[in-house]
């Protein structure tokens, strides 16, 4: 075990302090998640007495029964999965098409187009005129309000454009000589070569769609269109046990006497977070490339 | 192909710019159909702006926005840099990877979920934090953090740190790994200790990235993360938790006073615009690099 280490590799007090700090940091980061998980398995009435932090005191699955019986959660799941899948696929495709067009250095007025789009990253009409626009074109209370306004992002376009323009020009040139159209070149040559950056942009989009609740809060009033996060926010803010949307027949008898709104909301948080935690390890390899992609300047 | 993007930007970014006209329309004209306000209501010049600046609520809101965001910049801007340096100084690869994995995780949780977890932790009756502090004898009775106006800024800053510091450090870690190893070895041979190496090799190595990001964040000093604030905002702490962005949403979308809300939004945009131009100018003078 004990090897001779160079001066650079020997631990001194700074290292121990650093390690201690990191352990505390990790604890602070993970403990809230753990506390909610523990609370979700604890009986509601018992939880109100306090002291349930590290392990459930009175085990129960009642909170999960309540959550699973709540139709709003499932509808929220469907809306969220729908908008995440459709929203990500359409926005990555749409943004790629524009980025490919912009990556062509022979494009006329390229600088003008570039600035026309760039300016919108810093100046805009603000949220109210935007709201009025959505209202006028009929996107309020419409599932498409989750999809259409996020079809295109100037930032993502620049990231993709930068990547596309690093692909050797000759590849596209040869295809053009063989008579391939621009869309054909994009879909059969450029996109297959750009998988890492596409994965990165898709990851941003997925995280954004999955976690968004503001658009539902302000642009949607129809409960059938509420995404999971907004349903969750309403459950957390509710102080009473939800009695609507619960299939009474499927609940074990006496359950309503011991569950509380709080522990139900814990179970709801866990139910909505499980997909993120399951996918998290698989997404990890895209992290570093993802965060640095935005730093590339033209 | 490019026309798709031009069309999108024209509709969703340039058309709303014309909606700014709402800010100059009579505030008392209330219509369900906003187009009617835009085309038919009377022009009142800068009356809505004067109304906003004269209101005592607005002063408080502007103060909240500036105060909270300045503190955020002071604390949350350098933190990922410091965190990246600390991570890069960890020697065990497995420990380093574990810390990184854990620190990135909160970035992937929504503010609803993460906020819900934090609110559980700080709950007055059942939260672990109060119990912990009581047992240590640091406090006499449980703190009501979530409903305390004076605790709001701290709550926002700390939650923002925990959620974002790991993710924010990635970019600086990439910059640090780009610093040549030879420089470190040369510094060590010259007798530089750990802190001197950080100060004279690591920091200058990542300075260009720091300046660029600082510049980007200065112009956003009036922008708030609404998704974050709304999760912790409640009637008890509203005196400290109302910022310009949440005020615009409240007046515009909840109360339907489009004219007044638009005026507040325009006021904010104009100041941000000056800040952007100013900080870009300063950056060009100092480092020779700017955004444009």
Name the CATH superfamily, with its identifier, for domain A62-298: MetI-like (1.10.3720.10)
Residue B42 is classified by DSSP as: P
Residues pairing with A88 in the sheet: none
Residues pairing with A246 in the sheet: A70
With CB atoms and an 8 Å threshold, state whether B16 touches A12. no
> Pick from B131, B232, B123: which is nearest to A262 by CA?
B123
Helical axes A154-164 vs A71-103, angle rounded to 10°: 50
Q: What is the CATH number of the domain that holds B259?
A: 1.10.3720.10
Q: List the domain range (segments joined by +) for residue B214.
A: 33-286
pLDDT at B127: 86
Q: Is the pLDDT of residue B246 over 60?
A: yes
Chain B residues in contact with A117 by the CB 8 A cut-off are 5-6, 9
* Beta-carbon pairs below 8 A across chains A and B: 243
Best A34, A125, A183, A279 residue to mutate vs chain B (most B CBs within 10 Å): A125
Model ipTM value = 0.85
What span, in angstroms and rounded, lies between the C-alpha atoms of B286 and B211?
Answer: 10
Domain residues of chain A, as ranges? 13-60, 62-298
**In this complex, is the C-beta atom of A1 within 8 Å of any C-beta atom belonging to chain B?**
no
Q: Which two tokens stand for residue A190?
A: 């450029």
Dihedral sign (CA B217, B221, B225, B228): positive
Chain B residues in contact with A39 by the CB 8 A cut-off are 120
> Pick from A42, A150, A274, A278: which is nearest to B113 by CA?
A274
Q: Which residue has the higher pLDDT, A266 or B201?
A: A266
b (16+ CB within 10 A) / e for B187-197: bbeeebeeeeb
Chain B residues in contact with A272 by the CB 8 A cut-off are 113
With CB atoms and an 8 Å threshold, state whether B13 touches A124. yes
What span, in angstroms and rounded, lies between the C-alpha atoms of B277 and B267?
Answer: 16
Residue B10 belongs to a domain = no
Q: DSSP secondary structure string, A17-63?
A: HHHHHHHHHHHHHHHHHHHHHHHHTB-HHHHTTS--SSS-SSB-SHH
**In this complex, is the C-beta atom of A53 within 8 Å of any C-beta atom belonging to chain B?**
yes
Give B74-111 pLDDT, tens digit per residue: 898 889 989 998 998 898 899 999 999 999 999 999 99
With CB atoms and an 8 Å threshold, state whether A126 touches B262. yes
Nearest residue of B to residue A109, measured between CA atoms: B2
Residue B168 belongs to a domain = yes
Length of chain A: 298
> Which B-chain residues 46-85 have CB contacts (< 8 A) with chain A?
none
pLDDT by 10s per residue, chain A, length 298:
344 444 555 668 888 999 999 999 999 999 999 999 999 999 888 888 888 889 999 898 888 988 888 888 899 999 999 999 999 999 999 999 999 999 988 888 888 999 999 888 877 788 888 998 999 899 999 999 999 999 999 999 998 998 898 888 888 888 888 888 889 999 988 999 988 889 889 988 998 999 999 999 989 999 999 999 999 988 888 755 555 444 444 556 666 677 888 888 999 999 989 988 888 887 776 665 555 555 544 3
pLDDT at B228: 94
| Greatest mean pLDDT among A291-295, B35-39, B175-179, B185-189 | B185-189
* Number of domains, chain B: 1
Chain B residues in contact with A102 by the CB 8 A cut-off are 2, 5
């Amino acid at each position: 075990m004990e090897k001779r280490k160079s001066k650079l590799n020997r631990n001194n007090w700074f290292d121990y302090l650093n390690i201690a700090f990191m352990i505390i940091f990790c604890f602070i980061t993970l403990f809230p998640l753990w506390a909610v998980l523990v609370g979700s398995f604890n009986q509601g009435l018992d939880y109100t007495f306090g002291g349930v932090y590290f392990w459930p005191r009175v085990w129960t699955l009642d909170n999960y029964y309540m959550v699973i019986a709540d139709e709003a959660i499932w509808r929220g799941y469907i809306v969220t999965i729908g908008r995440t899948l459709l929203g990500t696929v359409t926005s990555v495709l749409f943004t790629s098409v524009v980025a490919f067009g912009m990556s062509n250095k022979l494009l006329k007025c390229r600088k003008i187009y570039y600035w026309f789009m760039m300016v919108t990253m810093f100046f805009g009409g603000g949220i109210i005129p935007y709201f009025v626009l959505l209202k006028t074109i009929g996107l309020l209370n419409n599932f498409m309000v989750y999809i259409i306004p996020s079809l295109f992002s100037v930032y993502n376009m620049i990231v993709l454009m930068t990547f596309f323009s690093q692909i050797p020009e000759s590849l596209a040139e040869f295809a053009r000589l063989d008579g391939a159209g621009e869309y054909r070149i994009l879909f059969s040559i450029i996109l297959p070569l750009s998988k890492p950056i596409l994965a990165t942009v898709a990851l941003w989009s997925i995280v954004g769609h999955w976690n968004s609740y503001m658009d539902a809060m302000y642009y949607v009033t129809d409960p059938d269109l509420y995404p999971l996060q907004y349903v969750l926010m309403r459950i957390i803010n509710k102080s009473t046990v939800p009695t609507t949307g619960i299939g009474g027949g499927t609940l074990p008898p006496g359950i309503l006497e011991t569950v509380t709104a709080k522990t139900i909301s814990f179970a709801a948080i866990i139910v909505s977070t499980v997909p993120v935690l399951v996918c998290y390890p698989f997404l990890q390899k895209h992290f570093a490339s993802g965060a640095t992609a935005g730093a590339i300047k033209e | 192909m490019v026309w798709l993007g031009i069309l999108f930007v024209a509709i969703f970014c340039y058309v709303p710019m014309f909606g700014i006209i709402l800010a100059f329309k009579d505030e008392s004209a209330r219509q369900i159909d906003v187009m009617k306000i835009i085309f038919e209501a009377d022009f009142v010049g800068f009356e809505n702006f004067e109304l906003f600046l004269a209101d005592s609520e607005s002063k408080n809101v502007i103060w909240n926005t500036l105060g909270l965001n300045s503190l955020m910049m002071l604390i949350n801007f350098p933190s990922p840099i410091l965190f990246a340096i600390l991570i890069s100084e960890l020697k065990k690869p497995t420990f380093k990877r574990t810390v990184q994995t854990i620190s990135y995780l909160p970035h992937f949780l929504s503010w609803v979920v993460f906020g819900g977890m934090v609110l559980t932790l700080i709950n007055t009756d059942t939260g672990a934090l109060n119990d912990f502090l009581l047992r240590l004898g640091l406090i006499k009775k449980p703190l009501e953090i979530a409903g305390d106006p004076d605790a709001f800024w701290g709550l926002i800053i700390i939650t923002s740190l925990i959620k974002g510091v790991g993710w924010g450090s990635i970019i600086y870690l990439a910059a640090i790994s780009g610093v040549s190893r030879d420089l470190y070895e040369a510094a060590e041979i010259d007798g530089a200790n750990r802190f001197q190496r950080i100060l004279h090799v690591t920091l200058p190595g990542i300075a260009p990235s720091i300046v660029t990001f600082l510049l980007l964040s200065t112009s956003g000093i009036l922008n708030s993360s609404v998704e974050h604030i709304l999760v912790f905002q409640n009637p008890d702490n509203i005196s400290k938790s109302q910022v310009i962005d949440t005020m615009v949403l409240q007046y515009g979308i909840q109360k339907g006073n489009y004219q007044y809300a638009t005026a507040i939004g325009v006021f904010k945009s104009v100041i941000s615009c000056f800040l952007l131009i100013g900080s870009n100018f300063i950056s060009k003078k100092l480092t020779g690099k700017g955004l444009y």
